[in-house]
Structure 1
Amino acid sequence: MGSTNAEAMNAAMSGDAGKTWFAALQQTEGRGRRGRAWESPHGNLAASLMMVPDAPAAGLAGLGFVAGVALNAALARLIPAAAIRGGIDGADGTAGGGRARIALKWPNDVLADGAKLAGILLEAQKRPDGRTAIVIGIGVNVVAAPEGLPYPATSLATLGAPFDAPSVFEALAESWVECYEIWNNGAGTSRIINRWRQSAAGIGAEVAVQRGDGVLRGIFETIDDAGHLIVRDDEGHRIAIAAGDVHFGTTATLR
């Protein structure tokens, strides 16, 4: 398949009622944020959920956090908690008061041992009937991770988790149902973001955020209830960031 997101959006524009998954074992035209290519060899999971929610347009971005919480929960169940090691680039998460192998990286990645294991891409488009279609694309490195990236990436196979893409999809679909019910057409956004925050990588660590106007460095304080990254800069100002590329640890301190 070229792109599950493209297939899902085509269905939305053709009048599909939504709540439909589009999944593939390989994508030839996968993409990530800002139109970046995302490699997906055969055996990895590419899945897109198309929805036409009955929720205020301003709250639809919360679905990205629903997807993050659902994917994080699914992967945490699949990957054993044993043999925990320090996260690459200072990106450990926490669970039960200790380190967690699986953590959420703002705004749309899932990390395992600090390396990228999965990514999420949220796209929206107005349909001919005036309603907004949302496509939530999810890619999981099941059998292999892309090489030559400017950041570390890993796969379930590398982590010693013997699961195939259908098993990962099944776990994801189950988690999605639970998290979507909590979201409740936007009424439960704060509950979802609180769950996201509890699994966030890098809170309290040095962070560098690449934005269109340059790089902001400081301490990653929290995610606010609107889903913004809150960074405290060197002068003590708390800055809310709606979009940007995040780097932790050593990378964050490079000048």
Structure 2
Amino acid sequence: MAFTLAPTAASDGYRLEALDTVGSTNAQALDHARAGDSGKLWVVSKNQQSGRGRRGRAWQSPPGNLAATLLVVADYELKLASTLGFVAGLALADALDAVAPKGSISVGVDGGGNFGKGGSNRFELKWPNDVLASGAKLAGILLESTMLDEGRFAVAVGIGVNVVAHPDDLPYPATSLKKLGATCDAETLFLALSDAWAVNARLWGEGRGLAAIRNRWLERAAGIGSEVAVHIDNRVVRGIFETIDEDCRFVIRDHDGGTVTIAAGDVHFGAVASAGAI
């Protein structure tokens, strides 16, 4: 099966560049933006060789996994672009629901599952940019941007999914769709993702529908009400994960009863957070 766009995505004006092999789909998309591409371009591959994660970390992606980047070119307020990661998380979770087999998924030690809430979501969203299953990282989202002329900017919304394999040498649990029992391939998942993105992007509406996106995200959020530790630069903030605010920042209730609002950081839930292991 070849990569293809869902009819909803094609009708909304999205385009597709499918590559047999790529260094980084994000880098490829941003190169297109600098060369004048107008955006709404998906760059996809199942053989990404130089993927990146947050803070310059390597993203390991053996052949068969999905690497997909949507290029967005815009001139609206730049801070709104950061919320595209939440649109991407919802779109991916919706796509996974569509292609993965039904059944219960347990929560691992650092999964940050909805403790005490029945675990109704098989795929949960971990702030700011991970998708979890079985309490382990299944997918990551990375936003990268560059300024263009005439006040415009480009954002590469990168999505990497462990479809057939996952790395074993990580400081946190990881999993793959294959390990979870799913039989879909990268092409099938992308077809569903392109459809789900079109739906969620309409809801987001260049930020006008951010409140609705926030509400949907919270319904899938991992770890609300649980112990959390957030690593911010050279310090760790601990408390209870309470919510995300109207700008999608992470809100913790600390042990003194006050709230701490966090714009960026590495989040740890469950036993890892409680044990003070970071």
The TM-score with structure 2 as length reference comes to: 0.88
CA distance in 2, matches of 1:19, 1:74: 19
C-alpha deviation, 1:82, in angstroms: 1.3
CA distance in 2, matches of 1:147, 1:98: 25
CA distance in 2, matches of 1:186, 1:85: 34
Q: Which amino acid is 1:248 matched to? A: F
Q: How does 1:52-71 map to 2 (within 5 A)?
A: 52-71=73-92
Q: Which amino acid is 1:33 matched to? A: R
2:203 aligned residue: 182
Task: Tell me the SS of whatever aligns to 2:194.
Answer: helix
2:262 aligned residue: 241
Task: Tell me the SS of whatever aligns to 1:89.
Answer: coil
2:271 aligned residue: 250
CA distance in 1, matches of 2:102, 2:60: 27
Residues 58-113 of structure 1: CA deviation (Å, up to 9, x unaligned) = 2111111111111111112222231432334252249x964322100000000011
Among 106, 110, 118, the alignment partner of 1:85 is 106
2:10 aligned residue: none
1:23 aligned residue: 44
Runs of 5+ consecutive residues of structure 2 not aligned to the other structure: 1-21
RMSD across aligned positions (CA): 1.5
Count of residue pairs brought into register by the alignment:
254
Residues 154-173 of structure 1: CA deviation (Å, up to 9, x unaligned) = 00000000000000100100
Q: Which amino acid is 1:39 matched to? A: Q
- In the alignment, is the contact (CA less than 8 A) between 1:93 and 1:102 conserved in 2? no
CA distance in 2, matches of 1:111, 1:54: 32
- In the alignment, is the contact (CA less than 8 A) between 2:107 and 2:133 conserved in 1? no
Among 1, 8, 12, the alignment partner of 2:33 is 12
Among 157, 169, 185, the alignment partner of 1:148 is 169
Q: Percent identity?
A: 54
CA distance in 1, matches of 2:173, 2:105: 17
Residues 196-218 of structure 1: CA deviation (Å, up to 9, x unaligned) = 11100000000000001400110
The TM-score with structure 1 as length reference comes to: 0.96
